[in-house]
Amino acid sequence: MKEAQPRTVYLKDYRAPDYLIDHTQLHFELEPQATLVKSTLGVRRNPAAESSGALPPLWLDGVDLELLSVAINGELVPAQRYRELPGGLEIDVPGENFELEICTRINPQANTSLEGLYLSNGMYCTQCEAEGFRKITYYPDRPDVMSLFTTTIVAPPTYPVLLSNGNKVASGTTDDGRLTVTWEDPFAKPAYLFALVGGDLQWVEDRFTTASGRDVKLQLFTEAKNIGKCAHAITSLKHSMRWDEEVYGREYDLDIFMIVAVDHFNMGAMENKGLNIFNSACVLASPETATDAAFQRIESIVAHEYFHNWSGNRVTCRDWFQLSLKEGFTVFRDAEFSADMNSRAVKRIEDVTLLRTSQFAEDAGPMSHPVRPDSYMEISNFYTLTIYEKGAEVVRMIHTLLGAEAFRRGSDLYFERHDGCAVTCEDFVRAMEDANGADLQQFRRWYSQAGTPVLEVTDAHDAASGTYRLTIRQFTPATPGQEEKLPLHIPVAIGLLDDKGQDLPIAEDGSGTVILHLTEAEQTFEFNQVATRPLPSLLRRFSAPVKLRYGYSDAQLQFLMQHDSDAFNRWDASQRLALNALSELQAQYRTGVPLQTPEQLIAGFRSVISDTALDPALVAKMLSLPSAQELAEQEGEIDAAAIIAARAFTRDALADALHDEFMARFKQLDIRKPYAPNAGDIAERSLKNTCLAYLCANGTAQALDLARAQLDRAENMTDSAAALAALVEFAPESEATTHLQAFYDRWQQDTQVVETWFGLQSSSANYGTLARIKQLMEHPAFEFTNPNKVRAVIAGFSARNFTQFHREDGSGFEFLADQVIALDKVNPQIASRLVTPLTRWQKYREEEGQKMRAAVQRVMESGELSRDLFEVVSKSLSTR
Ligand code: B3K
Ligand code: ZN
């Protein structure tokens, strides 16, 4: 049965299911092109169903299935009693309770969408969230239908590892010599958490004892060649399990926890009950092959998927409009975990950078939606930065408003009250209120209102009375379909610095930070006994996902950079200083005057570069210029050429003026020690490599020699990739090509390193030209059906190489349109993500914007589009 035509699904239309499935028995006979799936379902009329009276037909979702038979209570159902319709199967039912048996045939080998059951390097694996189970068998594929699953897998002996959710309860050999294994999951779950794996895999094993003494077997399965890359994920898993016990009182609930690494995967990983499936790039690492960033990403994704066992699996979502219930909460949980394991300030800076660069852009674009959307065409398009990152910020604000202890009381009540249930964001907020007698009535608007709020802050000091007043005005710009916006309840953490840079003791307990509750469109907060005018440190720790405007002078920003007790705001001051300089330079570029050296920025950066008292990771972040994408997000109308020119000029000016400081700091940090991915060492490598990049930008022979030497002798991928990236960007082209070839020759057997190698070229402003991107797509290691390769090469260019993608001839846009059209036939989810940069054409200068729009239009007219791509393209074209 084919997929249904594009249609819009509305939250207001939610109805409880007519039927429940108490138990689900699945029987798979694995064959690459013809896998047989028999499902036996215990069906029961839902007492809470909203339709009353006569028994309505049973609706089962199904896509790309070949129906072989339908039987009820052991008898074949004649064809006139069921109907195969677009998107599913409708069956006339004999009564309120019955057993339904359905046989279908599917073709995993032909499944390049990587949704449902598919093959990755000959290994069977599944991805069912959100609506992939319907590609495996006919089923009520909705998260509020929770069932007990038993799964039997039969496969030839060439697939010795056969896995599914829960505990292994039987295994053996069939008469014809095939292997058979049966798994039973004791926890009721929705179909989206189902998983199956079959392959010739190796594994590493460890154990974990829970707080209450349960002995849990931990296993990580992978292709044999990767077996040496599993240790970090296992360590991360054990840390996550302990942390969730200590911080949330949550224990693991099965005797076995399995992770499987697969090369072909649309997302980072998937939290299937007891059997997490991971994109290889998000789980496999060794010091020689993975960068520090990869080590940290793996730690956080392993934690994220593990934490879902409670926030997502034990308590799940009623419908997909509630997706942020599990995703926002779980991202908040994993962010706090990473902050506890590493540097809290640096983790916060990284998350806020992502939010400001990409989520703010999403909120201002044609796909803007609230944390709890009220409609969608294709739910896969809503696994967004808004659902994940802004959703996590919303949970963080509840944490800030209530305090850590009250938040924990709320989460305890939430898990206890809703264990085994499919619930809503409203249930989460209510548990937080009920556990604490709190009032989050106005706060709820964060779930329903889209767009990024803007806070405008002004202040006044009256020396005679010693009164200082902060006035904050809030407004949220209109977003598609939501013209009117209401004031939100916003926690604004602030401090006041005296002229020595010390915090005034403004909090009740005498400390320096208070949380202001902004609830009105405009509100004034008064502070007494303030003798001299203080300098405000606003929105400390980024206490709310908003844009903050206050007329800081460059001198005040330099003062905050040096003195603010809030590390996040120190960094933020450095970024504001850079933004001021860059926006001034863009204006100069547009008016055609010669660009002027940004002296204030140079002075500001000089003051931190040699500060050895500061965490080197924080220094590295403070010395990093906002990306072109982040600059674009700042502008009312984006002028790509101006951004590119201003940013390159500023980088070169800094490299030139601070050469000696960069060199001194590089040499100080350039020490050789055995690799360890701990916060201290990661910090040193990050500052060292930030200095190296500036030194190479300066282009002196001496600087390039440093990079050559580092590439030559590096024993870890962080240092070799940083040196290679610097050379690719700044060495003569022929030399860059030579280094790249040598690097490829050395690492060609390693999938993850080859992906790094692709990405480093495609995102290089100098080297990653369109011609070269096209060459990379011809490379034998490139695979159009592998999302990691597509992301590394194509998205590396379109989403991370602003300079080349935005060349004035528009060739980058045409190229991307071609790739999106081709990819939509192979993998709609990836096609619809890839097209994103083009869909934001409205914000660009007229001439460029029209070229981008024309490319989107061409995609629209290219033929029949998937529902995924149709939604984003049609919404883009209908937004001005
Ligand atoms: N829950 C999965 C996302 C699956 C998305 C499929 N389109 C990963 C995660 O957020 O943990
Ligand atoms: Zn998640």
Query: 229 by DSSP, 3-state: which?
Result: helix
What pLDDT was estimated at residue 54? 87
What pLDDT was estimated at residue 5? 67
Q: Which domains does the chain show, CATH number per domain? A: 9-307 (2.60.40.1730), 346-530 (1.10.390.10), 622-636+645-675+691-878 (1.25.50.10)
Atom of ligand 1 nearest to the CA of 127: 6
Phi and psi torsions of 47, nearest 5°: -60, -25
Per-residue tokens: 236 = 């991360």
Q: What is the mean pLDDT of residues 270-279?
A: 99
Atom of ligand 1 nearest to the CA of 305: 11
Taking a C-beta distance cutoff of 8 angstroms, is the pair 644, 803 a contact?
A: yes
Q: What is the mean pLDDT of residues 811-838?
A: 98
CA nearest ligand 1 atom 3, residue: 270
Phi-psi region of 177 (alpha: psi -120 to 50; beta: other; left: phi over 0): left
Q: What is the mean pLDDT of residues 247-271?
A: 98
Burial of 288 (0-12, 13-18, 19+ CB in 10 A): middle
Q: Does the pLDDT of residue 2 top 60, yes or no?
A: no
Angstrom distance (rounded) from CA 705 to CA 682:
23
Q: Does ligand 1 lie within 6 Å of residue 129's CB atom?
A: yes
Q: Does ligand 1 lie within 6 Å of residue 326's CB atom?
A: no
* Percent helix, strand and coil across the chain, each to the nearest 5: 45, 20, 35
Helix runs in 594-634, H state only? 599-609, 616-622, 628-634
Local confidence band at 4 (pLDDT 50, 70, 90 cut-offs): low
Atom of ligand 1 nearest to the CA of 268: 8
What pLDDT was estimated at residue 51? 74
- Residue 376 exposure: Cα atoms within 13 Å on the Cβ side: 23
Angstrom distance (rounded) from CA 304 to CA 331:
7
Burial of 602 (0-12, 13-18, 19+ CB in 10 A): middle
Q: Does ligand 1 lie within 6 Å of residue 304's CB atom?
A: yes
Angstrom distance (rounded) from CA 339 to CA 740:
35
Query: 293 by DSSP, 3-state: which?
Result: helix
Q: Does ligand 1 lie within 6 Å of residue 380's CB atom?
A: yes
Query: What integer best gives the mean pLDDT of the chain?
Result: 97
Angstrom distance (rounded) from CA 565 to CA 542:
14
CA nearest ligand 1 atom 6, residue: 129
Pocket test residue of 262, 264, 271, 301 for ligand 1, highest count of atoms within 8 A of CB: 271
Q: Does ligand 1 lie within 6 Å of residue 383's CB atom?
A: yes
Q: Label each residue of 317-370 as H, E or C.
A: ECCHHHHHHHHHHHHHHHHHHHHHHCCHHHHHHHHHHHHHHHHHHHHCCCCCCC
Q: What is the mean pLDDT of residues 578-602?
A: 98
Per-residue tokens: 634 = 């700042």
| Closest residue by Cα to residue 709 from 686, 692, 684, 733 | 692
Helix (H) or strand (E) holding 172: strand 167-173
CA nearest ligand 1 atom 8, residue: 270
- Tell me which DSSP letter residue 147 carries: B
Helix (H) or strand (E) holding 655: helix 640-657
Angstrom distance (rounded) from CA 325 to CA 316:
8
Query: What is the b/e burial string over 299-337, where b = at least 16 CB atoms within 10 angstroms of the residue's CB?
Result: bbbbbbbbbbbbbbbbbbbbbbbbbbbbbbbbbbbbbbb
Q: What is the mean pLDDT of residues 36-65?
A: 94
Angstrom distance (rounded) from CA 583 to CA 564:
24
Q: Does the pLDDT of residue 102 top 80, yes or no?
A: yes
Atom of ligand 1 nearest to the CA of 379: 7
The CA-based dihedral angle spanning residues 791, 797, 799, 804, taken in that order and rounded to the nearest 10 degrees: 180
Q: What is the mean pLDDT of residues 470-495?
A: 98
Q: What is the mean pLDDT of residues 269-296?
A: 98
**Spacing of C-alpha 565 from chain mean position:** 30
Residue listed under structure tokens 């005005």: 473
CA nearest ligand 1 atom 1, residue: 270
Q: How far does the centroid of ligand 2 lie from the alpha carbon of residue 304, in Å?
A: 6
Q: How far does the centroid of ligand 1 lie from the alpha carbon of residue 268, in Å?
A: 8
Q: Does ligand 1 lie within 6 Å of residue 130's CB atom?
A: yes
Share of the chain above pLDDT 90, in %: 98
Q: What is the mean pLDDT of residues 333-351?
A: 98
Query: 215 by DSSP, 3-state: which?
Result: strand
**Spacing of C-alpha 749 from chain mean position:** 28
Q: How far does the centroid of ligand 1 lie from the alpha carbon of residue 319, in Å?
A: 15
Q: What is the mean pLDDT of residues 737-743?
A: 98
Q: Does ligand 1 lie within 6 Å of residue 389's CB atom?
A: no
Angstrom distance (rounded) from CA 357 to CA 629:
6
Active site residues: 305
Q: Label each residue of 798-860 as H, E or C.
A: HCCCHHHHCCCCCHHHHHHHHHHHHHHHHCHHHHHHHCHHHHCHHHECHHHHHHHHHHHHHHH
> Measured on CA atoms in the order 580, 516, 365, 812, is the torsion positive or negative?
positive
Query: 504 by DSSP, 3-state: which?
Result: coil
Q: How far does the centroid of ligand 2 lie from the alpha carbon of residue 268, in Å?
A: 9
Q: What is the mean pLDDT of residues 702-717?
A: 97
Query: What is the b/e burial string over 57-66, where b = at least 16 CB atoms within 10 angstroms of the residue's CB?
Result: ebbbbbbbbe
Q: Does ligand 1 lie within 6 Å of residue 628's CB atom?
A: no
Residue listed under structure tokens 């839902």: 46
Q: Does the pLDDT of residue 671 top 90, yes or no?
A: no
Treating both helix axes as pointing N-terminal to C-terminal, what angle do 567-591 and 554-563 enclose, rounded to 10 degrees? 150
Q: Does the pLDDT of residue 613 top 90, yes or no?
A: yes
- Order the strands of the 58-61 sheet from edge to edge: 58-61, 88-91, 82-85
What pLDDT was estimated at residue 831? 98
Counting ligands in written order, which one lies closest to the CA of residue 276?
Answer: 1
Taking a C-beta distance cutoff of 8 angstroms, is the pair 427, 444 a contact?
A: no
Angstrom distance (rounded) from CA 835 to CA 855:
10
Q: What is the mean pLDDT of residues 577-591?
A: 98
- At 163-187, the pLDDT tens digits run 999 999 999 999 999 999 999 999 9
Q: What is the mean pLDDT of residues 847-867?
A: 98
Q: What is the DSSP string of 539-604?
A: SGGG-SS-EEE----HHHHHHHHHH-S-HHHHHHHHHHHHHHHHHHHHHHHHHTPPP---HHHHHH
Angstrom distance (rounded) from CA 224 to CA 233:
16
| Closest residue by Cα to residue 367 from 380, 354, 353, 384 | 384
Q: Does the pLDDT of residue 1 top 60, yes or no?
A: no
Angstrom distance (rounded) from CA 503 to CA 722:
38
Pocket test residue of 127, 128, 129, 322 for ligand 1, highest count of atoms within 8 A of CB: 129
End-to-end CA distance of the chain: 37
Phi and psi torsions of 490, nearest 5°: -120, 120
